[in-house]
Each structure stands twice: as structure tokens, then as C-alpha cells.
Amino acid sequence: MTNNNTQSINIKSLFRILSVIFHYTPIDLLIHLSKQKLILPFYHTVSNKNLVHIKHLHNIKSTKQFERELDFYLKHYEPIDFFQLSTIAKNNKKPDKKYFFLSFDDGLSQMSSVVAPILKRKGIPATFFLNSKFIDNKNLFYRYKASILIDEIEKIGLSKNVKNKTEQILRDNKLDCSNIKKSILSINYTNKHIIDEIAFVFDIDFNQYLKNEKPYLSTSQVNKLINDGFTIGAHSIDHPQYNLLPINEQLRQTEQSLHFIADNFNVNYKTFAFPFTDYGVSKKLFEQINNIDASFGTAGLKTDSIKNHFQRIPIEVSKLGARNIIISEYLYYLFKMPFNKNIIIH
């Protein structure tokens, strides 16, 4: 992560604090001042259960919290589906009404068991982005492995033998061993093998976890979501950080996951959400995947130089509710308006 990106995250954290002060600011006023009528909130999951593979990464919304947040969106915006959003992109015009487009990343099993029933009851469309390597619980995202490891450390602690072996693995890979949990969370896609090495020390079997917990959607569950009127998209093969990959690998991750969705689910549209972020992705990649209907980043309330590329708002970044997150995004947008800093140029 670059210094500029880190600075941006720190400033956004400040605006989330400010959103508590401005909690009762009328949303319509913020929309009017910013002229931003379209928001694209996104989540990973919703659950009333303790999801070990996620709890140390995201703030998991309960069903009650999620429904309250949906009611907030519905009060101030009109829900639109993927095809309506694609039309907005094709027309290259600003929306004429206040809209929200809802999406979910990683293809987790709660999309079928929890999220879809709530959305159907409320009449809200959504798009679910899937990693081709994880569908049917064939593999586990390395960050989810990290969360499981940290949970094990918190649950049983570290024996002297396990601690010594873990620290040695971290040292061998030039990682700080003074804070094991922090170091595990710092592991990225390029050195993800370290997590498996540490898991061996802890005697954790991730394949058994996949078998027991079934964290991901099955093919039949995805087909049921499609039959229920939801749309699906690609989210790469195995969720890498694109800014750490050469462009040929970025292209492979993108195209293979798009082909997987088309070949296995017989959908006649193409959409892709970048894993983690599209930060650092060059215009050259967009030029090579220009046959898709729409793509998505995670930079918040911003416009983009690519007309069919949309920036989404991550809602699970803090324990604040959707109203405060959305207000903080509008405040941040207004803060940057005088400097023309609200458009992302690739």
C-alpha cells in the first residue's frame, strides 16, 4: 500500500468520526450539495453466527442490523439492478433519480441462506461476485485462513513450542515476530504460503474446515440465486491484490474468472469486481477487458475515468451503521470537491 493510499484511509477514518457528529444531517442535502445521486454499498456477508473465517477481518452485520440498513437505503434511494446500472454506464449520463446498487463479494454461503431471503422480501435486487477457485468449497481464501489462525491463537493461546516454531517461520520470511497476530494479518497474496506453514504448526486442517463449515456457495445455490432474479459476476480466480501482480497475471485472473462464470452459469452479461481494490490497476488492463458490461472498485463515493467502471462503498469497514458510513462518504466527497479530487484516473 502506498503512502498516498494510507493517507487517504486515515483521512476517511477522520470523516467517519465526523459522521457521528453529523448523524442527523439530511441525506437529501448531502446529495444536493455533492450532486451524487448514485451510491453503491457493498458487503461480504450477513450473519447472526460467529463466523471464524471472517470475524477478524470485517465487522459482520447481524440480520437485524442489515435490515435496518436496507430500510435506510430504501428511505432515501431507489434500488436498481445490474441491467439498470449498465444502462446508466452505456448512456454515460448522471442518474436522473436517487439510486442505490447493492452487491456482495466473495460468494459466501450466507448469500443463499440469509441475504437472498431478506432481499426478496424487501424487493431489492443485488449482484453477487464469485471467486472461481472457491465455489463449491474447493479452496479457502488466504485471508480467511488468517482469521481462523488468529481465532485459534485467541482461543487456546500459544504453547512455548508452537510460539517458537511460529516465530521462526515469521523470521525466515522476514516478518516481525514481536506481534504474531499482526504479522499473520500482514501476509499478502505473494507470500500466502506462510499461512499454510503456520497452520501446520497449529495442526489446523483448512480442508476439514471447508468440509465442516462450507463457507462458500455451491453451484446449485448460485443457480438458485440466478433463478430468483439475482445477478452474478466474477471476482478473480483466488482473490489476489492486483497491485502486486504483473499485468499478464491480472489479465489471467480477470479473464479466467469471467469465462468460468459464463461457462458454468450460462449468463449473457459480463461483470467483474476487483478483489481488495482497483488501486494501481492501469488503463491498459481496462482496455484489454473492454468487452464487459461493468466493473467495480472499492474507493467509496467517487467517479471514475472509465465510463463503465463504478466505485463502491465498503459498509463493513467500521462498527458504524450504513447511515454514518454514507454520510462520511458524502462529507469526504464535499471536502475534496474544491480540489477536483473526486475522480479516479487510471
Q: Is the dihedral of CA 31, 85, 305, 332 positive or negative?
A: positive
Please choose, from the candidates 91, 83, 74, the residue with its C-alpha nearest in 3D space to the C-alpha of residue 39: 74
User: What is the helix (H) or strand (E) element at residue 27, kind and residue range?
Assistant: helix 27-34
Please choose, from the candidates 274, 341, 273, the residue with its C-alpha nearest in 3D space to the C-alpha of residue 303: 341
Please choose, from the candidates 8, 14, 12, 79, the residue with its C-alpha nearest in 3D space to the C-alpha of residue 41: 79
Residues of the chain with pLDDT under 70: 1-9
What residue ranges in 41-176 does DSSP mark as E strands?
41-43, 78-79, 99-100, 103-105, 127-130
Kindly state whether residues 21 and 124 are assigned to the same domain: yes
Kindly state whether residues 103 and 62 are assigned to the same domain: yes
Examine residue 217 and state whether it is found in any structural domain, yes or no.
Answer: no
Contacts of 255 (CB under 8 A, 6+ apart): 289
Question: What angle, rounded to 10 degrees, do the helices at 3-21 and 322-336 form?
Answer: 120
- Residue 274, C-alpha cell as written in the block: 476487483
Whole-number pLDDT of residue 2: 45
Examine residue 218 and state whether it is found in any structural domain, yes or no.
Answer: no
Kindly state whether residues 326 and 246 are assigned to the same domain: yes
* Number of domains within the chain: 2
Full domain range(s) for residue 205: 142-210
Q: Parallel, antiparallel, or unpaired for β 78-79 and 99-100?
A: parallel
Kindly state whether residues 126 and 178 are assigned to the same domain: no
CB-CB contact of 278 with 262 (8 Å) = no
Kindly state whether residues 328 and 239 are assigned to the same domain: yes
Amino acid identity for residue 321 in this structure:
G
Kindly state whether residues 286 and 331 are assigned to the same domain: yes
Examine residue 219 and state whether it is found in any structural domain, yes or no.
Answer: no
3-state secondary structure of 104: strand
Examine residue 126 and state whether it is found in any structural domain, yes or no.
Answer: yes
Indicate the burial class of 213 (C-beta count within 10 angstroms; 0-12, 13-18, 19 or more).
Answer: middle
What separation, in Å, do the N-terminal and C-terminal C-alpha atoms of the chain show? 17
Whole-number pLDDT of residue 267: 97
Range 62-79 burial, b when 16+ CB lie within 10 A, else e = eeebbeebbebbeebbeb
- Interval 36-82: pLDDT, tens: 999 999 999 999 999 999 999 999 999 999 999 999 999 999 999 99
Q: What is the pTM of this model?
A: 0.94
- Residues forming beta bridges with residue 130, ordered by sequence position: 234
Kindly state whether residues 243 and 340 are assigned to the same domain: yes
Q: Is 42 left (phi over 0), alpha (psi -120 to 50) or beta?
A: beta
Whole-number pLDDT of residue 7: 55
Whole-number pLDDT of residue 332: 95
